[in-house]
Amino acid sequence: MVTAVAGCGGSAPTPQPSATPAASPRQAARDLLAASAATAKDRRYVATYTLRTRNRDERTVTVALATDNSWVVSVPAGLLGGYADAAVFRSTDGLFQCALGPAAATAADPAAPRVTPGCVKVKKLTSGTDPKVQHIFTDWIDVLLDPAAPFSVAVAQRLEKASGTCYSIESNSAALAAPVDPGIYCYNADGTLTAARTSFGTLVLVGTPDPAPASIALPAPIVPGGPLSVAAPPPPPSPTPGTTTQP
């Protein structure tokens, strides 16, 4: 009996360590996008992009991100329904919406409103005054870095003429306003946005970005008044039948 008891003894089996759960493909894609966004946040350069929007001619967007953190994004025909060229500018003095003058394609249009170059300071831009293009180079980057932001990410097929890695972003909540536009965002390894497809259109990088300037100046003089609308102004009222125009 003693021998039998001794034979049943011995050390307890060593517990095996539990396996670490593998990251899901979407979580892995989100981590990759966050790494690209972290690099993009520190990237400073001057670049041009083509902007393709439905029912609009192709336009050239200019982006300048300076080393002192001032920046400007210009959007041709971005205000007044395409009648005015737009720019959004930020520096230590604040945020400004700027009209750069009448859009070239509307110069001969007799219905074109008069547009004088000028910038107005704003606390923020609303949906009615926001060209939106500048967000993809500025504050949306912080959202892409936020692990709690309500969107999901997947690696996407590369957009035409894009380089680097492209990511598809989808909102996780239909009840909340999306913190960034759902769409496709493409980044090079150095943090340069090479292409994007969002609600405002499709951006594609043209050529190679130039080095960043030390600072950026306001692109037009400060003028009184409020920001211009992105929508076209209403047409002038038609004359009432039977009335005459006085000299």
Please state the domain extents for the chain. 23-211
- What's the chain's length in residues? 247
CATH of the structural domain 23-211, one choice from 2.50.20, 2.60.40, 3.40.50, 1.25.40: 2.50.20
DSSP count for the chain of H helices, then E strands: 3, 11
Residues 6+ apart with CB under 8 A from 207: 47, 48
pTM of this structure: 0.84
Distance CA 205, CA 78 (A): 18
* Other CB atoms within 10 Å distance of the CB of residue 74: 23
Task: Tell me the average pLDDT of the chain.
Answer: 88
**pLDDT tens for residues 165-210?**
999 999 987 656 778 999 999 999 999 999 999 999 999 999 999 9
pLDDT band of residue 23 (cuts 50, 70, 90) is low
pLDDT band of residue 233 (cuts 50, 70, 90) is confident
Mean pLDDT on 138-152: 94
What burial letters (b/e) apply to 125-154, b meaning 16+ CB within 10 Å? beeebbbbbbbbbbebbebbbeeebebebb
Q: Is the dihedral of CA 77, 82, 87, 88 positive or negative?
A: negative
CA Rg value for the chain: 27
